Structure 1
Amino acid sequence: MKYVRYISILISFTLFGQQNISTKLISKQTLDDSTLISIDKFNTHYNLNNTTLFLKGSKGRFEYTNLQLGDITSANTFNPLKINLFYKSFNTVIILDNRLSDIKKIDFNLLSPLRIVSKVSSANDNSIWIFNSNTQQLELFNFITNKTKHITLPTEGNILDLKSNYNFCWLLTDAFIYTYNYFGSLVSKLPNNGFEELAESNGNIILKRGNNLFYLNRDSKKTLPISLPNLLINRFFVTDETLYIYNGEMLHQYQLIND
């Protein structure tokens, strides 16, 4: 009887221990610049301020502005050698190198068939992921040849967010969380239970709902809450299992501990 009770307690403890993802505070610093959007593994800081992208790293400080295109809708710095800037108002993407010099301009208004792009993210080689609002489809687009390499089936729901690494792409709509591989094949499709944003970390994703963050392992279908102090989450991003949270005054840096 004692043996059975011991096993029951051990199983309960194990299950309980899997109900959240622990964090360890690494550092926090006052940050009066609310334009920080990412920090890469080389400690390069990227800031976005309306029309200008700033880069500050070991090789110096650089900035990029395109006055003809105006405000930058999004900047994806996952591949620092091929940064992409999206100008939604002009249906245009600019590709930059690691010193923020132009590599390529893609004006989707001039390409056939016409694509109305609403989200952009990085991909492998000379490609980017784009979401075409005309067809509700995700495309892996080669910006050198201006051709679509792979295309997904139409998705369901209004698109909320799009993130990727070299091998996978995650599309968040108000209905589902989609995962695609590099060939545009659907890997998984999970219900979206109120999540609004996502970030990618070594094939796993972090999801934001309200003022809380959740962890979804690439091999799991269950989201686990991330244990954090009561912080206002104005902005968050992840670099190599390091979670950055900006609360409007301070930048908090946490190590994710997946027990």
Structure 2
Amino acid sequence: MHKLYYIIALIGFFCFGQEQVKATIKDSTVFKAKDIFGVDTFGTLYYTTEDHTFYKKTQDTTITYTNFQLSKITSANPFNPLKINLFYRDFNTVIILDNRLAEIFKIDFNTIQPYKNVSFVSTGFDNTLWVFNQDLQQLELYDYKNKKVRLKTVPVQSQILDLKSDYNYCFMLTENYLYIYNYFGSLVSKYKNDGFESMAFSKAHLVLKNENKLYLLPKKKTQILAVEHPNLLINQFLVTNETLYIYDDEILRQYQLKLE
């Protein structure tokens, strides 16, 4: 009788205790861009075109920034709209823009001593950037105004695939693991990488991509959950709070993420 009770309880746990994530379509827009780097809660789009021009497009206005010397933008992080960072990997350089896309700071890692060969950049708190030092194979929190490294993490043994952050956390995806650090540089969590290639992050959720499938690590949760969504070509994806954006080079679709 006791065994039967535990079996029933176990079945109930697996049937009702497992959370699921569903993506429900909210809106779609015909849109053409080379790379989309962000969409804020007001619908402001940050993206680039084939001529390497960086755009900030609101409902009312569109403003642009172009750096003809540096050309191709590898990544852009508009998490802090007052300090947008553009990374030009070919030139080992970061440009910081204000909310009018005026240049307010330039970090040329080629001229910094000791020299840094940087492969990934993301936003930190205050006047800092999370940078991955390719030569040392380690993540660093770099203070670009004072030109010094505030902290370093332990070197990793596998190739880094993606880097995302906000003021409180930094997520580093490598071929072997997903590492989550706090702003002190302490390792908070570590997950085995089961085929994840890239990720998107907002203050609510971390979304991971494996081929044409998406997975969600919700805030304050420890389990990575599969996202149920239409079978679409996912060239690019973004997340803003609980809204998921999927772009297929022609249409930008907007989905509501819901844990069930």
How does the TM-score come out when normalised to structure 2? Answer: 0.92
- The aligned residue for residue 40 of structure 2 is 40
Matched, 1:143 2:144: yes
- The aligned residue for residue 78 of structure 1 is 79
- Which amino acid counterpart does residue 116 of structure 1 have in structure 2? N
Contact 1:72 1:85 in 2 (8 A): yes
Q: 1:223 to 1:57 in 2, by over 3 A?
A: same
- The aligned residue for residue 196 of structure 1 is 197
Cα distance in 1 for residues equivalent to 2:14 and 2:186:
38
Q: 1:192 to 1:60 in 2, by over 3 A?
A: same
Residue 124 of structure 1 deviates from its aligned partner by 1.1
How does the TM-score come out when normalised to structure 1? Answer: 0.92
Q: 1:6 to 1:123 in 2, by over 3 A?
A: same
Cα distance in 2 for residues equivalent to 1:205 and 1:141:
23
Q: 1:254 to 1:109 in 2, by over 3 A?
A: same
Contact 2:140 2:151 in 1 (8 A): yes
Cα distance in 2 for residues equivalent to 1:9 and 1:190:
27
Cα distance in 2 for residues equivalent to 1:127 and 1:223:
29
Q: 1:30 to 1:192 in 2, by over 3 A?
A: same
Q: 1:208 to 1:28 in 2, by over 3 A?
A: same
Give the 5 Å matches for 1:215-230: 215-230=216-231
Cα distance in 2 for residues equivalent to 1:95 and 1:59:
24
Residue 87 of structure 1 deviates from its aligned partner by 0.8
CA offset digits 1:63-103 (Å, max 9, x no partner)? 11111112111111111110001111111100000110011
RMSD: 2.0
Cα distance in 2 for residues equivalent to 1:83 and 1:152:
24
Residue 203 of structure 1 deviates from its aligned partner by 5.0
Contact 2:37 2:75 in 1 (8 A): no
CA offset digits 1:163-196 (Å, max 9, x no partner)? 0011000000101100111011111121111100
Matched, 1:96 2:97: yes
Matched, 1:241 2:237: no
CA offset digits 1:111-140 (Å, max 9, x no partner)? 111110000001111111100001011111
- Which amino acid counterpart does residue 140 of structure 1 have in structure 2? L
Cα distance in 1 for residues equivalent to 2:28 and 2:180:
33
SS in 2 for 1:226: strand
Moved more, 59-68 or 166-175: 59-68
SS in 2 for 1:22: strand
Cα distance in 1 for residues equivalent to 2:202 and 2:73:
24
Cα distance in 2 for residues equivalent to 1:37 and 1:101:
18
Seq. identity, %: 46
- The aligned residue for residue 69 of structure 1 is 70
Give the 5 Å matches for 1:246-257: 246-257=247-258
- Which amino acid counterpart does residue 166 of structure 1 have in structure 2? Y
Cα distance in 2 for residues equivalent to 1:172 and 1:94:
24
Cα distance in 1 for residues equivalent to 2:9 and 2:139:
48
Cα distance in 1 for residues equivalent to 2:8 and 2:109:
64
Q: Which runs of 5+ in 1 are unaligned?
A: none
Residue 216 of structure 1 deviates from its aligned partner by 1.5
Q: 1:113 to 1:174 in 2, by over 3 A?
A: same
Q: 1:14 to 1:49 in 2, by over 3 A?
A: same
Residue 33 of structure 1 deviates from its aligned partner by 3.8
SS in 1 for 2:110: helix
SS in 2 for 1:109: coil
Give the 5 Å matches for 1:86-125: 86-125=87-126
Q: 1:99 to 1:14 in 2, by over 3 A?
A: same
- Which amino acid counterpart does residue 13 of structure 2 have in structure 1? I
Residue 25 of structure 1 deviates from its aligned partner by 1.4
Contact 1:199 1:205 in 2 (8 A): yes
Contact 2:204 2:242 in 1 (8 A): no
